[in-house]
Amino acid sequence: MEISVVIIGRNCETLLTNNYVNRPHDELSFAKEIIYVDSNSQDNSIAIAKQLNWKVISLSSNSRLSAAAGRNVGAKHANGDYILFMDCDMVLNLEKSITINDLINKHIEGPTVGIGGLTLDIFDNGDERLRLKRNNDGEKSDTFGGFVLLQKKALLEIGNWNPNVIANEENELYARLLKNNYNVVLSRQMLNQHYTDNPKLSIQLLNLYLPLTSKAKKFYGAPGMGLKSAVKHGSAYQYLYYFNSETILSFIVFLLAITTLFLKIALGYKLLIILLMLGFLVFWTLKKRSIFFLLLCPSYFMQLIIGYFKYQDKEVIYKVLN
């Protein structure tokens, strides 16, 4: 079987130099081809990708610039039977003596058309954090991120990545896979080292409620954009089901609270009912998550609504450079 690797990035000169130019990168030796899709970088990312003998595709500045747009175009030009999607700040790391072909033979059969792996965040200060996954090895995954191996035939059959979903695009794609009776499993033998910064939780929280930076403004409402796309593709149920349950519960509590206000009962009883519902929401969230996540839920709920109406279809314009 032939496997393509699609790496997306923007202004990745330092990352590509450190992770690929300055060291052997035998972990990608299995690849039939490596395709780098660049989102209008202003540094030497494209030159470095060419230096590495990768196939390079450049998205136009007048185009939709998103992770999904890069993966969409990369998938169209990939020649492999399977495509491993990665970001430019990721480095593949497989369990010793395990190959990608081994994982495909182990997991890909029947409705299973993809494999998601683990992510080890490596921060600028050297700290590391392994992102927790609730699924066991080989189990159907609840979700997957930008590090995923997908069967090309199934991916194109369900419509490829939607370039107009600018974040949470993995959840939206997974909803369409599920609707078509496909699934992705988790492999704990496939990991990526993810080189990233570590913003303060307070700043993350502020941007979710009051986006001030240009980046925060761009991505605000992304969950709702994914929902709009899911509605258009008839996969809204799958999208919401595999969205985090705490956000959906927040939405239900909100609707019930509004309904309670219109009941013909004393104001004191209304307030008591609403407080009980909020108490249950807090209990449910803290049982599974954290106080920080509890604070995120209302923001996700608002973004589901705002992003739904913010969604826009935009053409992807690109050029194959070599």
What are the residues facing 150 on neighbouring strands?
A: 83, 114
Report pLDDT digits (tens) over 198-214: 766 666 666 667 777 77
pLDDT at position 199 is: 67
pLDDT at position 117 is: 96
Q: How confident is the model at residue 98 (pLDDT cuts 50, 70, 90)?
A: very high
| pLDDT above 80 (res 6) | yes
What is the rounded CA–CA span in Å between residue 247 and residue 294? 9
What is the rounded CA–CA span in Å between residue 202 and residue 196? 18
| pLDDT above 70 (res 285) | yes
Nearest-5° angle of CA 167, CA 215, CA 168? 10
How is residue 27 annotated by DSSP? Answer: G
Q: What is the mean pLDDT of the chain?
A: 90
Are 4 and 35 spatial neighbours (Cβ–Cβ below 8 Å)?
yes
- 60 CB burial (10 A radius; 0-12, 13-18, 19+): middle
Q: Which of 2-6, 176-180, 198-202, 245-249 has the lowest mean pLDDT?
A: 198-202
The fourth-level CATH superfamily of domain 3-197 is Spore Coat Polysaccharide Biosynthesis Protein SpsA; Chain A (3.90.550.10)
Highest-confidence segment of 46-50, 141-145, 292-296: 46-50
What are the residues facing 56 on neighbouring strands?
A: 36
| pLDDT above 80 (res 246) | no
pLDDT at position 194 is: 95
- The residue written with tokens 């608002």 in the block is 302
Which DSSP string do the residues of 224-247 spell out, in sequence order?
A: HHHHHHHHHTT-HHHHHHTS-HHH
Distance of CA 65 to the CA centre of its chain: 15
Are 193 and 278 spatial neighbours (Cβ–Cβ below 8 Å)?
no
| pLDDT above 90 (res 305) | no
What is the rounded CA–CA span in Å between residue 77 and residue 83? 11
Please state whether 221 falls in left (phi above 0), alpha (psi between -120 and 50) or beta: left
Q: How confident is the model at residue 61 (pLDDT cuts 50, 70, 90)?
A: confident
> Can you give the residue ranges of every domain in the chain?
3-197
Report pLDDT digits (tens) over 125-179: 888 989 878 789 999 998 899 999 999 999 999 999 999 999 889 999 999 999 9
What is the rounded CA–CA span in Å between residue 175 and residue 23? 38
Report pLDDT digits (tens) over 185-194: 999 999 999 9
Residue type, 307: G
pLDDT at position 204 is: 66
pLDDT at position 8 is: 98
